[in-house]
Structure 1
Amino acid sequence: MAPEAAPGQDESVTVDDLYRDLHAHPELSFEETRTAAIAAAELRAVGFDVIERLGITGVVGVLRNGSGATVMLRADMDALPVVEDTGLAYASTAPGVMHACGHDVHVACLIGAARELAATREHWAGTVVAVFQPAEEVGGGAQAMIDDGLYDRVPTPDVVLGQHVGPAPAGFVGAHSGAAFASADSLDITVPGRGGHGSRPETTVDPIVIAAAIVGRLQTIVSREIAPQDTAVVTVGRMSAGTKNNIIPESAELGLSIRAYSEEVRLRVLSAIERIVRAESAASGAPDPSIDLAESFPVTVNDRVATDRTMAAFRSEFGPEAVIDPGQVSGSEDVGLLATAANAPLVYWILGGAHPENYAAAATAGTIDRDVPSNHSPRFAPEPQPTLDRGVAALVTAAREWLAPAVPGS
């Protein structure tokens, strides 16, 4: 389905319809042209002023409705290079690409919230800025929009609001104050050696042996260099070297992912990695290795006062039993850059998307990690309802908490 024929041009297309369509047509980072066209058409249809192609494929809509706060609502749009294994009737039609992180839910919910806020302008005053951000998965989308003049072209927000669907039970929402999502750094490391014949290792400097020593030593960073009360993750997710069994290669490559909840711990981990990589190479008489930062996400920090205020509004609207503190999430986000660049508080919450009965059964059996697929799994499939309705309502409730009440007779 081409963008110009995509759903979202009139309100007869439900949020559920939009979600299923978006799920079936995922697009990778900075390639979200179809998704962006749907978002732009939807915003224009309900009266937003729209800017397209901001930060390559980003879309921003502005709805002005008198004096009051400026509230930014953000949804990310990109999918992942994952082969879907959900069995859904509306599964991905794009080979090797899947909405495995729920950004289709985010887009559909923000469209639903934009519709609701536009239809109820008599109940609030202020300005709503709806941001459909590209490329969250590679950590570049928020910064790309900022660098492309986001805050030169739209009002600076007084608060930035958003949500991320996850494997909590559908119908639940909640945010953690302070450091809420971990920082993430992706490192590409090349360990050079000196190649040669596998029968004559004495003539070589074997980069595979060096890389193996590095991997083993990296495991001591968290256990021996990070305080017990702090948290960090060092994962070697990729290791590659060689072409044939009897050839010692010229180099080996490692791919690392690092997580932390404070800048101090993050820098300590990165420093330790560099020290270990260079020292192991030097100990083997190898040339100096290269260490390149591929992706980087800052710690996502929820403003405590703003979060308390927004969660109080959620408890009032949904009932206290539906509002949770999910604790610190070890995944990462770039939404905080939008708030930092605006010098505005951030409130970013978790939206439950798991089938409630299935989640409860897994919790009773102690098998949540096995039986409730998490984000980035090829089996990740948020339950459309009540997830979508609650996601729309959460965005609208949060926005109205910050927007001014409408003045009677205005």
Structure 2
Amino acid sequence: MPATLDELVAIYEDLHRHPELGRQEHRTAGIVADHLRTLGYDVTSGVGGTGVVGTLARGEGPTVLLRADMDALPVREDTGLPYASTATATTADGETVPVMHACGHDVHTTCLIGAAAGLAADTGWRGRLLVVFQPDEEGGGGAQAMVDDGLFERFGTPDVVLGQHVAPVPVGVLGVRSGPAFAASDALRITVHGAGGHGSRPETTVDPVVLGASVVQRLQTVVSREVAAAETVVVTVGSFHAGTAANVIPDRAVLGLSIRTTDPDVRTRVLAAVERIVRGEAIAAGAPREPELEVLNSFPAVVNDPVACDRVRASFAEEGRWLVVDPGPVTGSEDVGVLAEAAGAPCAYWLLGGADPALFASATSVDQIRRVVDGLPSNHSPRFAPLAGPTLESGVAALVSAARSWLA
């Protein structure tokens, strides 16, 4: 049972050293389930694939859901940490890739194990606690998979959904924003078709590499020319695969596209603009076939409930150990909102500071703090490395504080 911070750090370092991709979190889920059983929770594994649910009842009272995600990313770690990952995994496409907890889900999982321990040891609350360890957040389907597997029919409907995400802001800072807090996410695979041939005779081909490059360039105008400056939109081409040899023009190019928006109407316009641009560039290039646009995953913005956020802010303030700020809308995405929407429950999801406060010692203004944050490795970077002990201590306390504000 993780009774001390040292034990939590050991759990964290183990999870960090052994990351698993979405839908493959078997080892992580086993560790979680073992700890929860030791703590006295009723435990169910395999929910939504590799998800784990622990329940603990203490008489009549509200049902509180605390959620953490468990999956890692196909990133080669470059932190230099003594517990750095050297793990690899096989993707659904059969590709072997390096794997790293580059988004901090190992922090989230460890913090929830610690909070589960703290709440199990605390006999002063009444109600029902659901601790939900979710698979495949990065793939965008983990929350929905758990819902589709009868999460709330099997374990009860919560009165509130709570959780947190570690970020490169100082330890001791919590970012709580009411309303649209995290962006909606749409991931697309775009395949453009050409007519391949010899690299020395491009005039006999339709080059999909040039076509794909034109698509990449033109997509940059979606944000700069098709939406207002005050609207929050990010369009990123994160992958571009084409060809096998320098002297061979291939038959096709495949692009991976990530779109983040916070307004449903803007989201609709941006998706329509992307499709128009891709099809238009294919026509301009004389492509022999229509391009293919495949939605890999899609989930809505996280909309925090104002009343629930007021309650967690008051709870954090009463503790007196954090600086609680409004971080503004976050362009990163999260599928925790799927859980809240399916349950019909309010959501309060906050940012957890995970960076060394010493790095901010010379910052004397908000702008200077932001410049420090911008210079740090961000989530999804191969160098992303939260300050383990203090971050875990803060994250466990934040989850317990927020949960107790309902369970008390």
Q: TM-score under structure 2 normalisation?
A: 0.91
2:59 is aligned with 1:66: yes
Distance 1:336 1:370, change over 3 A: closer
Distance 1:65 1:377, change over 3 A: same
Offset at 1:371?
A: 4.2
2:269 is aligned with 1:273: no
2:389 is aligned with 1:389: no
Correspondence 1:70-219 to 2 at 5 A: 70-95=63-88, 96-121=98-123, 123-219=124-220
Offset at 1:199?
A: 4.1
CA distance in structure 2 between the aligned counterparts of 1:36 and 1:44, rounded to whole angstroms: 12
Amino acid at match of 1:38: I
CA distance in structure 1 between the aligned counterparts of 2:214 and 2:175, rounded to whole angstroms: 42
Match of 2:37 among 33, 38, 44: 44
CA distance in structure 2 between the aligned counterparts of 1:174 and 1:215, rounded to whole angstroms: 34
Contact 1:171–1:390 (Cα < 8 Å) also in 2: yes
Q: Percent identity?
A: 60
Structure 1: give runs of 5+ residues left out of the alignment.
1-7, 406-410
Amino acid at match of 2:335: D
CA distance in structure 1 between the aligned counterparts of 2:174 and 2:370, rounded to whole angstroms: 22
The residue number in structure 1 matching 2:95 is none
Amino acid at match of 1:86: T
Any idea what the Cα deviations from partners look like across 1:229-288, whole Å, max 9, x if unmatched?
A: 211111122223233444332222222111111111111111001011111212233221
The residue number in structure 2 matching 1:251 is 252
The number of aligned residues is: 394
Structure 2: give runs of 5+ residues left out of the alignment.
89-97
CA distance in structure 2 between the aligned counterparts of 1:25 and 1:52, rounded to whole angstroms: 19
Contact 1:100–1:375 (Cα < 8 Å) also in 2: yes
Amino acid at match of 2:249: I
CA distance in structure 2 between the aligned counterparts of 1:341 and 1:40, rounded to whole angstroms: 24
Offset at 1:365?
A: 8.9
The residue number in structure 1 matching 2:223 is 222
**DSSP-derived class of the 2:331 partner:** coil
**DSSP-derived class of the 1:88 partner:** coil
Offset at 1:367?
A: 5.1
Amino acid at match of 2:41: F
Any idea what the Cα deviations from partners look like across 1:153-209, whole Å, max 9, x if unmatched?
A: 101000000001110101111211111111121111111122233444343322223
- Runs of 4+ displaced beyond 6 Å: none
2:364 is aligned with 1:368: no
The residue number in structure 2 matching 1:35 is 28
The residue number in structure 1 matching 2:94 is none
Contact 1:170–1:385 (Cα < 8 Å) also in 2: no
Distance 1:55 1:309, change over 3 A: same
Any idea what the Cα deviations from partners look like across 1:24-74, whole Å, max 9, x if unmatched?
A: 221211111121111111111122111111111110011110111100000
**DSSP-derived class of the 2:332 partner:** coil
Distance 1:375 1:401, change over 3 A: same
Amino acid at match of 1:126: G
Range 298-307 or range 159-168, more displaced: 298-307
Contact 1:185–1:296 (Cα < 8 Å) also in 2: yes
CA distance in structure 1 between the aligned counterparts of 2:65 and 2:386, rounded to whole angstroms: 25
Distance 1:267 1:390, change over 3 A: same
Offset at 1:94?
A: 2.1
Amino acid at match of 2:379: N
The residue number in structure 2 matching 1:330 is 331
Amino acid at match of 1:132: F
Distance 1:18 1:199, change over 3 A: closer
CA distance in structure 2 between the aligned counterparts of 1:317 and 1:141, rounded to whole angstroms: 33
Any idea what the Cα deviations from partners look like across 1:98-152, whole Å, max 9, x if unmatched?
A: 211111111111111111111112x111000000111111111111111111112
Offset at 1:325?
A: 1.2
CA distance in structure 2 between the aligned counterparts of 1:269 and 1:76, rounded to whole angstroms: 28
Match of 1:377 among 375, 381, 400: 381
CA distance in structure 2 between the aligned counterparts of 1:88 and 1:70, rounded to whole angstroms: 39
Distance 1:50 1:251, change over 3 A: same
Q: TM-score under structure 1 normalisation?
A: 0.91
CA distance in structure 1 between the aligned counterparts of 2:336 and 2:246, rounded to whole angstroms: 46
The residue number in structure 2 matching 1:315 is 317
